[in-house]
Amino acid sequence: MWSILAAIHPAKCHRERVWKYKEHTSSLNFDTIMFPVKLADIPKFEKQNTISINVFGFNKGEVFPIHISKHRFEQHVNLLIMISDNKKSHFCWIKDLNRLLGDQHSHRARHFHCPYCLHGFTKERILSNHLPYCQTHGPQKIELPTEENKWLHYKDIRKQLKVPYVIYADFECLQEPIVDSNESDQKTKKTTLHVPCGFAYKVVGLTPETSNEPVVYRGADAADKFVECMVKEQEEIEQRFKHCEPMIMTGSDWQSFKKATICHICKKELADMRVRDHCHVTGKFRGAAHNDCNINYKFTGRIPVVFHNLRGYDSHLIMQAIGKVEGKQLNCIANNMEKYISFSLGCMDFIDSLQFMSSSLQKLVENLAKEGSSKFRHMTSHFGEEQISLLLRKQVYPYEYFDFEAKFAETLLPPIEDFYSTLSGEGITTLDYAHAQQVWQLFNIQNLGQYHDLYVLSDVLALADVFENFREICLNYYGLDAAHFYTSPGLAWQAALKMTGVNLELLTDVDMHLFI
C-alpha cells in the first residue's frame, strides 16, 4: 500500500517515511484484499482502483519481470519485490525503471526498457514500435547471442563417439484393485493401482567383455531395488571410466597413421603435426587426428538408461523411489508436471526409446526380425534358436490377473479369459493362448513368477537389440550415436548441422525475433 501511495502521491522529501502518505490511505480500495498483499491479488487491486501495476524481482544482480499488468490505466506503478533474510517480502516503488536497468548495459548512454522483456533501446521511438509485438507474449527474460557468438555450426564431436555403456530396462506391475475410490462425482474413475513388482535390466558395453549379464528381480520393493541397482552400476561404470586401456597398434595401423591426410574426427586436412587417437575402453587405434580434435574427442561420462515409453509409464514408477537417494543430483527435462522427456540421477540419463522409434516394442521387433535372427545379438547370447523363434513373436501376459503378489506362486497358466484387458476391451486369441502354453512348456516354467521373469527379461533383451541396431544405423549414416540424445528431433538437428557443414547466423535483434 505504502509503495503505491509513494508513487501516486510522491513526497517532496523523505519519501521513505510512512506518515507522509497516511492522509491518502482512503484513496485506495483494498476491499476483499488481505494484508500482506499477495501477488495473486494484484489483478483484483488493479480493477478496484484503475491503477496498473508491474512487479519486478531482483536476484544475483539481475532484474526480472514477475507480474506485468494487462491493463493500460492512466495511473501506472512499477514495483520491486525484495526478499529479506527472514524470507519476508517487501514492495518498493521503482521511481525510474530505466535507471534501475541501466547497469545491464556496458555503455552509459540512456536506454528505454521494455517492461515485458526488459530489453533496452537507445531511442524511445524504437521502444514504442517494439511494444505491440512484445506485449502479446507476456513477461519473459530475453537472452540473445552477441555479435561474437551469433554463428551456429556443428561442433560437438563427442557425439560421434559410441557411448561405451548403455543400460536397457523395463518394469512390470501388479494391478491392485481400488475398492473404495470415493470418486463417483468425478469423470475419471480409478480402478487399479499400479505397484512395481519386478524389473529387468541389461548393461551393454562396447564389446561382449564389457557387457554384463542381464539382471532380473521380482519383489514388493522393486522400485527401490531398481534405483539401488542403478546407483551401484553407476559407481562401477565410473570406476571403469577412470581406467584407460593402453593403445594397441598393429602394423596396418601404423601404415594407416603414416598415410593419413585427413583427420578422422573433423574430416579436415591434416598438417605435419598429427597424433594417434585410440579408444580408452578397448585400446584400439581409431585413426590419425589433429591434436585439438583428439583432446576434445572423449567420452562425456554420461550413462543412458533406456526404457520404452519412459515418458508415459515407467518414469512414474521410478520417481516414487528416486527421491530417497542421497548424494546424487536429480535433474529433469519435463513436457509438463506429469510427463518427462528425460531425467537424470548423478551421471545417469533416463531416456525414452519411444522418442526415437514411435511404435510398440513388439512392432519394432517384428520389423527387425525380417532381417533375420542375426540382428538379435543379445537375445541369441541368452536363448537358444528354438526359444528365440518363440520370443520374437507377440508375447501375451495377463496384466490384470496379477493383482496380488501371491499369484506368482501359482503353478498353472491362467485360463484364456484371464488374459482379457479392460483397457483395450479385448482378450487374446486361441492362437495367442496356445503360444503362451508352448512358451510355458519349452522354457520349463514352474510357476507364474518364472513366467513374469521370462516376460520382462525378453522385453529388455528385445529392446536392447532394437535400439542397438538403431544406434548402428545412425552411426553408419550420420556418424552420430543416438544414445547421446533425448529425442529424434535433437538427433536430426545435429545430423543436419554435421552433414551440411552449414554456418547459420542467429538473430541478435529482439524485434527480428518477435516479428518471426
- Using omega within 30 degrees of 0 as the cis cutoff, is the peptide bond preceding 177 cis? no
Secondary structure of residue 53 in the 3-state scheme? strand
Dist. CA 240–CA 66, nearest whole Å: 47
Q: Kindly provide the residue ranges of all beta strands, DSSP E only, lying in 213-312, ordered along the sequence.
A: 215-218, 275-278, 285-289, 303-307
pLDDT tens profile 246-291: 999 999 999 999 999 999 999 999 987 889 999 999 999 999 999 9
Structure confidence at residue 291 (pLDDT): 92
What DSSP element (H or E) covers 83?
strand 75-83
Distances (CA, A) of 179 to 106, 176, 182, 434: 66, 9, 9, 33
β-pair partners for 151: 505
Is residue 460 within 8 A of residue 202, CB to CB? The reply is yes
Is residue 303 within 8 A of residue 347, CB to CB? The reply is yes
Phi, psi of 64 (to 5 degrees): -145, 150
Residue closest to 314 by CA, chosen among 426, 167, 447, 439: 167
Is residue 149 within 8 A of residue 507, CB to CB? The reply is no
Q: Kindly provide the residue ranges of all beta strands, DSSP E only, lying in 222-322, ordered along the sequence.
A: 275-278, 285-289, 303-307
Secondary structure of residue 106 in the 3-state scheme? coil
The pairs formed by 480-483 with CB atoms below 8 angstroms and a separation of 24 or more are: 480/159, 480/160, 481/159, 481/160, 481/161, 481/162, 481/163, 482/356, 483/162, 483/163, 483/166, 483/304, 483/306, 483/351
Grid cell 562425456 is found at 300
Structure confidence at residue 484 (pLDDT): 96
State the pTM of this model: 0.79
Q: What single DSSP character describes residue 96?
A: -
Structure confidence at residue 108 (pLDDT): 65
Question: Crossing angle of helices 448-478/430-442, nearest 10°?
Answer: 100
Distances (CA, A) of 267 to 6, 139, 270, 479, 501: 66, 45, 9, 11, 11
Structure confidence at residue 246 (pLDDT): 93
Structure confidence at residue 183 (pLDDT): 56
What DSSP element (H or E) covers 332?
strand 330-334
Structure confidence at residue 493 (pLDDT): 96
Dist. CA 457–CA 218, nearest whole Å: 11
Structure confidence at residue 259 (pLDDT): 92
Is residue 117 within 8 A of residue 110, CB to CB? The reply is no
Residues in the chain where the model's pLDDT stays below 50? none
β-pair partners for 201: 169, 215
Phi, psi of 256 (to 5 degrees): -60, -40
Give the number of other CB atoms < 10 A from CB of residue 114.
23
Dist. CA 142–CA 117, nearest whole Å: 6
CA 240 to chain CA centroid, Å, is: 26
Dist. CA 288–CA 389, nearest whole Å: 44
Cell representation of residue 319: 520417481
pLDDT tens profile 282-322: 999 999 999 999 999 989 899 999 999 999 899 889 988 88
Structure confidence at residue 180 (pLDDT): 65
The number of residues making up the chain comes to: 516
Structure confidence at residue 222 (pLDDT): 95
Give the number of other CB atoms < 10 A from CB of residue 229.
16
Structure confidence at residue 29 (pLDDT): 83
Give the number of other CB atoms < 10 A from CB of residue 75.
12
Cell representation of residue 416: 484364456
